[in-house]
Amino acid sequence: MSDTKNESTPLENLDQWEEFLETATYPEPEHKKKDDYRNYDDPARDCVKEFYRLNHKYQTFDFVMKKHEEILGPNKVRKEMTVIQAIELLDTLVDDSDPDIELPQIQHLLQTSESIRTRGYEDWFVLTGLIHDLGKLLCLEGEPQWAVVGDTFPVGCQYSDKIVYPEFFEANPDADDSRYNTRLGVYKEGCGLRNVDMSWGHDEFMYRLVKDYLPDPALYMIRYHSFYAWHREGQYEYLLDDHDRAMLPWVKRFNPFDLYTKCPLAPVWSELKPYYEDLIAKYLPKTLMW
């Protein structure tokens, strides 16, 4: 871990940073109304509902354990890549679970990070915006999209009815399994999200790749940005510990940048690349093992 990491760690100066955040501005939707984002009742794209039908049916506790072993375990053949290479590779992907954007993912990363940067936030927050979805590279390794993107939720305990399309959980075998379908399931009251297994996807994968290099608020943003049932709907309170509660405001702050900056305007990567090369080098190693 480099010394520069501590320079910008927000926890050393939390009061001042909190004060700044209270006066800071957040993106408002410019191209459509707020209510038109995350519209799952009448999604603009047909593939969204079908995506969640598959996601809710197949994301079982056993499936997640299998993915942890397969993708996070020692036998996985990893590719060594720079973050810049990963970003450019992701440019070939369109996310089927997202009702709001059909642009290549590189544009979503840049719209998020640039929106954070232009508001004067700390640079680790800008970097978080840039890399938060890089775990979507799993799609390019042949993983089905329902196992990579979309909203995430805890597995191994009762599904909240505040998760999008909760009716699709009826087809998930865990919903009928007494080990997993109770309020706590396999967990203990207040055990903390770090001890909870989330449905498998890009959030957890990316978190594991960068967990030794970024401040904790950044890691929460990366790991839980798709956990809308928690950060938007306030569900699963009984699984949280005090640290989760302290980190929740950061996850909430990240959300408008992830969501409301999605628009058809495309930032120009070639112009922005030198700035981001320096920023990545400040916090992350030259290559990561994807």
Enumerate binding residues for Fe ion (CB under 5 A).
133, 258
**Of the two residues 114 and 133, which places its CB atom closer to Fe ion in the complex?**
133
> Smallest distance, Å, CB 201 to Fe ion?
8
Render the burial of 55-86: b for 16+ CB within 10 Å, e for the rest. Answer: bbbbbbbebbeebeeebeeeeeeeeebbbeeb
* Coil, strand or helix at 154: strand
**Of the two residues 115 and 172, which places its CB atom closer to Fe ion in the complex?**
115
> Smallest distance, Å, CB 13 to Fe ion?
27
Give helix 105-118 / helix 269-283 axis angle, nearest 10°: 70
The answer to whether the beta carbons of residues 56 and 152 sit under 8 Å apart is no
**Of the two residues 40 and 238, which places its CB atom closer to Fe ion in the complex?**
40
**Of the two residues 143 and 258, which places its CB atom closer to Fe ion in the complex?**
258
The answer to whether the beta carbons of residues 236 and 184 sit under 8 Å apart is no
Element (H, E) at 114: helix 105-118
Q: Give the CA angle between residues 258, 166, 154 to the nearest 5°.
A: 65
What's the chain's length in residues? 290
Q: How far apart are CA 37 and CA 29, in angstroms?
A: 9
- 288, β-bridge pairs: 81
> Smallest distance, Å, CB 168 to Fe ion?
20
> Smallest distance, Å, CB 129 to Fe ion?
9
**Of the two residues 64 and 101, which places its CB atom closer to Fe ion in the complex?**
101
> Smallest distance, Å, CB 239 to Fe ion?
21
